[in-house]
Structure 1
Amino acid sequence: MYRYLVTTMRTPAFQPSVVEQHYAFLDQLRVQGKLELAGPFTDKSGGAYLIKAASLEEAQSLAFTDPVHVSGSSLVTVYEWNAV
């Protein structure tokens, strides 16, 4: 498994109502053992989370089902991260 940093940057179309669904999505990843860390940025511009996946494609597939991405509320980007 590799680690992937997922950033979620709010767009002008941000919908506050999607936040609850986003947190439920993160909880589901946590239960599956795929989420290591998550949290919002203090400036309210978005947030980030660290997931484990077998490949970049799998990580993108997971991240792009995040309700903040699907709704257009946030721009979601996935980076392979060699954190130590």
Structure 2
Amino acid sequence: MNRYLVLVMRKPAFDPSLGPAHQAFLDELRAQGRLELSGPFADASGGAYLMRAPSLDAARADALRDPLHRHGSSTVTVHEWRAA
């Protein structure tokens, strides 16, 4: 499995009530052994997480299930990461 960096950036209409659903989504990835790191940015503009997936398409499909994205609160971008 490859590593993917997922950036989750807040939109102006960010809904903080989606936080628990977003956390449950991350907990699901963690329970599957696919989430390595996650956390918010200090400036509250969004956050990032490092996940494992078999391909960029699979990582993107998973990341787009994030409730913050599905409900239009955040944009999600996925980058294959070749950590040194």
Cα deviation, residue 13, structure 1: 1.5
Match of 1:72 in 2: 72
Q: How does 1:40-79 map to 2 (within 5 A)?
A: 40-79=40-79
The number of residues matched between the two structures is 84
1:28-80 per-residue CA deviation (whole Å, 9 max, x = no partner) reads 00000110000000000000000000000000010000000001100000000
User: What SS is found at the alignment partner of 1:13?
Assistant: coil
User: Which AA in structure 2 matches 1:54?
Assistant: P
Counterpart-to-counterpart distance in 2, 1:68 and 1:77: 12
Q: How does 1:29-40 map to 2 (within 5 A)?
A: 29-40=29-40
Q: Is 1:12 equivalent to 2:38 in the alignment?
A: no
Across the aligned residues of Structure 1 and Structure 2, the Cα RMSD in angstroms comes to 0.5
- Segments of 5+ residues of structure 2 without an aligned counterpart are none
User: What SS is found at the alignment partner of 1:44?
Assistant: coil
User: Which AA in structure 1 matches 2:5?
Assistant: L
Give the TM-score normalised by the residue count of structure 2: 0.98
User: What SS is found at the alignment partner of 1:18?
Assistant: helix
> Kindly, what percent of the aligned residue pairs are identical?
61
User: Which AA in structure 2 matches 1:42?
Assistant: A
Q: Which runs of 4+ in 1 moved over 3 A?
A: none
Give the TM-score normalised by the residue count of structure 1: 0.98
